[in-house]
Homo-oligomer: A and B are copies of this chain.
Amino acid sequence: MQNRLETLDSILDRLRTSIRKNGLKNSKQREEIISVLYKSGTHLSPEEIASEIKTKDKTTSISSVYRILSFLEKENFITALEADKSGRRYEIAAKDHHDHIICLHCGEITEFVDPEIERLQIKVAHEHNANLISHNMKLFVICQKCQKIKP
């Protein structure tokens, strides 16, 4: 996981501002989900988020988790990642931009940034007369541990 750019409190402040800006109302569930994602530091599935919140005594429903995740993604508080066929996983957006290395054997997810690749992606888009909005890059690998297990 990379450096946090922002404290949890600061993110929650921005969340409240965003809620007001959209004419919405506060809810503890939204803050809970941000909190869980911030503290976990990993890439969690909606089910994992729901059960994490449930351990803290709340009876949060999975449908609310999905609804809130959509909102938080739209407002750029979190980002989604499709590591495999099992559905989306989410992580807090308050980190540096990064891409993912995914081990095909154990599923481990590592983050990385290569400034040179980032630069070249913008160049490629321009060469196609297009305006780069975002990108999605996943490197599928066999990690060091799994190379030892399965030589």
Binding site for B on A (CB under 8 A): 82, 101, 103-104, 110, 112, 114, 116-117, 120-121, 124-125, 128-144, 147
By beta carbon, the residue of chain B nearest A135 is: B139
- Determine if A110 and B128 form an interchain contact, defined as CB atoms under 8 angstroms apart: yes
Q: How far is the CB of A86 from chain B (nearest CB, A)?
A: 14
Contacts of A116 in B (CB 8 A): 116, 120
Q: How far is the CB of A108 from chain B (nearest CB, A)?
A: 9
Contacts of A141 in B (CB 8 A): 125, 128, 130-133
Of B82, B103, B136, which one neighbours A130 at CB under 8 angstroms? B103
Number of copies: 2
- Determine if A136 and B138 form an interchain contact, defined as CB atoms under 8 angstroms apart: yes
By beta carbon, the residue of chain B nearest A142 is: B131
In the bound complex, what is the Cα–Cα distance between A139 and B125 (angstroms)? 8
For the complex of A and B, the 8 pairs showing the least CB-CB separation, nearest first, are A130-B141, A129-B144, A137-B137, A136-B138, A131-B142, A134-B140, A130-B143, A135-B139
In the bound complex, what is the Cα–Cα distance between A128 and B114 (angstroms)? 12
- Determine if A139 and B132 form an interchain contact, defined as CB atoms under 8 angstroms apart: yes
In the bound complex, what is the Cα–Cα distance between A143 and B135 (angstroms)? 14
Contacts of A131 in B (CB 8 A): 141-142, 147
In the bound complex, what is the Cα–Cα distance between A131 and B143 (angstroms)? 6
In the bound complex, what is the Cα–Cα distance between A47 and B146 (angstroms)? 37
